Amino acid sequence: MAQRSAVVASKVGLHARPAKLFTQAVGASGLGVRIAKGDGPAVDAASILRVMALGVKNGEEVTLSAEGEGADDVLAELVELLETDLDAEA
Amino acid sequence: MTTPQTTLHGSGVGRGAVVGPVARAHPAPALHTEVPPPDDVAAAVAEVTEAFAQVARSLEKRAEEAGGTIADVLGATAMMAADPELVGQVRSRIEGGQAAVPAVDRSVAEFADLFTAAGGYLAERVTDLRSVRDRVVARLLGLPEPGVPALARPSVVVADDLSPADTAALELDKVLGIVIEQGGPTGHTAIIAGQLGIPCVVRVVGASALEDGTEVAVDAAAGTVVVDPDDELRARVETRREALATLAGLTDPGATADGHAVALLANIGTAEDAQRLTDAAVEGVGLFRTEVLYLGRTSAPTEDEQAEVYVRALGALGDRKVVVRTLDAGADKPLAFVTRSGEENPALGVRGFRLVRSDEELLRTQLRAIARAAERTGGDPWVMAPMIASVEEAEQFATLARGEGVRTVGVMVEVPAAALRARDLLAVVDFVSLGTNDLAQYTMATDRLLGELVDLLDPWQPAVLDLVAATAEAGVEAGKPVGVCGESAADPAMALVLTGLGVTSLSMSPAAVPGVRFALSRHSLERCREIAAVARAARTAAEARRACLDLVDAQVREVLALG
């Protein structure tokens, strides 16, 4: 199982537009990706409701995990996405 | 020959008129929870999955068409409708023997609880979740999509009622007018339409029978909706619309035809309202209601929190005049941390300035916050207290306010006792402001919230006019400002009467300012005095208004549809 951490760069945290773009990217990857905040339980990263409910704020760390073909590459892309200020790019 | 036109009647908000096609908004479907489990579970699961997918697609499409902030909100809502966890939960509930509608309802409720518990931004998104639920359930039940439809062209939105969320989602640049069957002239839809100057008629009997695409003429001044208007009516509406648009573009300070200045001010409730006035042709704010700062809280806002809000409001208005009213809680505006329970007559109880009797620090904190904001912005806010009945109360407020650093101190005149003794009040404060809604309530012994007694609350009631006149006269004598910040300031005919009586400023919703500015500019001060005299000589409210209109310039009557 591949695992990566990321610090959320979006000013508003992982909400609204950033949450939408992130969960869309997870959905498009076709892999079962999970996301956890701090030591919290991991939830389905394709679920915008679960992701928003984590309440991740700007500067907080999350851990992504995935299994399957190309999991490392997918996680690398997702980490890059999280570490961009998604809210700034209108 | 013209075919007879159907006319629906209601209460108009504003003075505008417009012709356009109907776009119906549909109510949220009822959530029947007592439904037997489906016979064919597989079919029910397939149907509900398809309903979620369709809702997601339709929201995504609307997001693409909308652009801006609305696009982001709709886009995130579309993702909620496509959420694998949500849809998965609904499916397992149905597989466990639940009917589709309660399965959707309960699955959404679980996430809604989670979001509500998290508070803040997430709690606000509960509305979006519920809108997904309502859209999915409507599809399952074969009902039209709830809420306001995407407007393909400028339209008149027709609904049974609009929720605050519906109103917030309106694409305002495409909303020509609003017609609602329920609601009231003081409801949130009416208030927002009034602020934005969108012609709106509420309580329209028969509005729910209007069909999509039918042309209607909405006349807010007359409170009518005419179905399939003929060419003559269309032309009249168009002339009025153009005239009103011209008026809305004028920015001169308020004055009579012969140059007697009457300041035209806006009523606001939040710092955001003040920021929206940046480009508005108003000379300032005549009533900044500060209750919003306190509403929905379990404890009073701190001095810092309040000062920050006042700084934003004063900063937005620059050197324009601002009159801040201190907290007016109690009666119809209860607050958890100050309102006493168990008062038999809250409108006559411990409300407004009277709260100082039990909690002086609450008022002192507010006064300090205002004074601090004034210092930080270099502004000079006037500050007034609501519900003053005696000269001792006025003195007490003036001492408190000046002690906390407020320079210009005034009181509201809303109680007949204050109007009758305005001379004494003006000896201890710098200005007074008439709150005509409460003054009518207390003069006529009529609850403001009772729709069936609305005739008694008419600001044209002779006894109310007498008290307004007594207050204005005291102001003229003392050489101190007397403003009006109630509904009546927004009525162009009444504005002429008030000016004739000696009132020095009129404060209203910003959308009402152009009509009042126009009416004033077409009458001399002497004419306003004559108009005031005939209004005061009348025996009844209806006669007072009629006698006044007979002296009002014909073009003003036509353009503003004063009758």
A84 inside 8 A of chain B by CB: no
* Chain B neighbors of A23, CB-CB under 8 A: 79
Count of all residues that appear for chain A in the document: 90
| Residue B25 identity | A
pLDDT for B256 beyond 70? yes
Average pLDDT value for residue range B130-158: 90
Q: Contact B262/B504 with Cβ under 8 angstroms?
A: yes
pLDDT band at A90 (very low <50, low <70, confident <90, very high): very low
Min Cα separation B31/chain A (Å): 22
* Chain A neighbors of B73, CB-CB under 8 A: 16
| Residue B310 identity | Y
B304 inside 8 A of chain A by CB: no
* Chain B neighbors of A27, CB-CB under 8 A: 84
8 Å CB contact of B121 and A15: yes
pLDDT band at B353 (very low <50, low <70, confident <90, very high): very high
Average pLDDT value for residue range B236-265: 92
Q: Among B19-23, B32-36, B74-78, B157-161, whose mean pLDDT is lowest?
A: B32-36
Average pLDDT value for residue range A47-51: 93
pLDDT for B401 beyond 90? yes
A5 inside 8 A of chain B by CB: no
Between B247 and B364, residue with greater pLDDT: B364
Tell me the per-residue pLDDT of B184-243, one tens digit each, with 9 for 90 and over.
666 667 777 777 778 999 989 999 889 999 999 999 988 999 999 999 999 999 988 888
Of B136, B130, B175, which is closest to residue B21 (Cα–Cα)? B175
B3 inside 8 A of chain A by CB: no
pLDDT given at position B317: 93
d(CA B430, CA B554): 38
Count of all residues that appear for chain B in the document: 563
Q: Among A30-39, B35-44, B99-108, whose mean pLDDT is lowest?
A: B35-44
Tell me the per-residue pLDDT of B289-347, one tens digit each, with 9 for 90 and over.
998 888 767 788 999 999 999 999 999 999 999 999 999 987 666 777 776 667 888 88
Instruction: Please report where in the chains the tokens 């851990």 appear, as a residue.
Output: A63
Q: What is the chain A residue with the closest CA to B76?
A: A20
pLDDT for A21 beyond 50? yes
Min Cα separation B187/chain A (Å): 30
pLDDT band at B125 (very low <50, low <70, confident <90, very high): confident
Between B353 and B75, residue with greater pLDDT: B353
pLDDT given at position B375: 95
Beta bridge partners of B22: B156
Backbone CA torsion sign across B510, B514, B519, B524 = positive
Note if B200 is an active site residue.
no
Min Cα separation B80/chain A (Å): 6
d(CA B491, CA B508): 9
Between B77 and B421, residue with greater pLDDT: B421
Q: Among B81-85, B148-152, B507-511, B523-527, whose mean pLDDT is lowest?
A: B148-152
Give the CA diameter of chain A: 34
Alpha helices (H) along B67-216:
68-81, 84-95, 100-118, 120-124, 126-141, 164-168, 188-196
Min Cα separation A71/chain B (Å): 20
Q: Contact B220/B15 with Cβ under 8 angstroms?
A: yes
User: What is the rounded end-to-end Cα distance, in angstroms, of chain A?
Assistant: 34
Phi-psi region of B329 (alpha: psi -120 to 50; beta: other; left: phi over 0): beta
8 Å CB contact of A50 and B85: yes
d(CA A88, CA B20): 39
pLDDT for A48 beyond 70? yes
8 Å CB contact of A49 and B86: yes
A40 inside 8 A of chain B by CB: no
pLDDT given at position B164: 63
pLDDT band at B148 (very low <50, low <70, confident <90, very high): confident
- Angle in degrees, CA B487, B493, B496, rounded to 5: 100
8 Å CB contact of B84 and A15: no
pLDDT band at B455 (very low <50, low <70, confident <90, very high): confident
A49 inside 8 A of chain B by CB: yes
Burial of B539 (0-12, 13-18, 19+ CB in 10 A): exposed
- Compare CB distances from B122 to A44, A47, A52 and report the shortest one's residue: A52
Of B128, B169, B107, B67, which is closest to residue A52 (Cα–Cα)? B128
Min Cα separation A34/chain B (Å): 12
8 Å CB contact of B122 and A44: no
Min Cα separation B51/chain A (Å): 18
pLDDT for B527 beyond 90? yes
Q: Which of B485, B523, B528, B548 is catalytic?
A: B485
Q: Which of B9, B26, B188, B260 is catalytic?
A: B188
Report in angstroms the alpha-carbon separations of B269 from A87, B118, B286, B387, B405: 30, 28, 11, 18, 23
| Cα dihedral value B1, B3, B9, B14, nearest 10 | -60
pLDDT given at position B91: 95
Show the tokens assigned to A87: 């809210």
Q: Which of A15, A54, A66, A86 is catalytic?
A: A15
pLDDT band at B70 (very low <50, low <70, confident <90, very high): low
Note if B188 is an active site residue.
yes
B122 inside 8 A of chain A by CB: yes
* Chain B neighbors of A44, CB-CB under 8 A: 84-85
pLDDT for B69 beyond 70? no
* Chain B neighbors of A43, CB-CB under 8 A: 85
8 Å CB contact of A49 and B75: no
Between B517 and A20, residue with greater pLDDT: B517
Between B510 and A4, residue with greater pLDDT: A4
Of B154, B157, B209, which is closest to residue B179 (Cα–Cα)? B157
A34 inside 8 A of chain B by CB: no
Average pLDDT value for residue range B110-122: 84
Q: Among A83-87, B168-172, B427-431, whose mean pLDDT is lowest?
A: B168-172
pLDDT, chain B, mean: 90
**pTM for the structure as a whole:** 0.68
A53 inside 8 A of chain B by CB: yes
pLDDT for B1 beyond 50? no
| Residue B530 identity | E
Q: Count other Cβ atoms within 10 Å, centred on residue B39.
A: 7
Average pLDDT value for residue range B432-461: 90
8 Å CB contact of A17 and B129: no
8 Å CB contact of B79 and A17: no
B80 inside 8 A of chain A by CB: yes
8 Å CB contact of A53 and B72: no
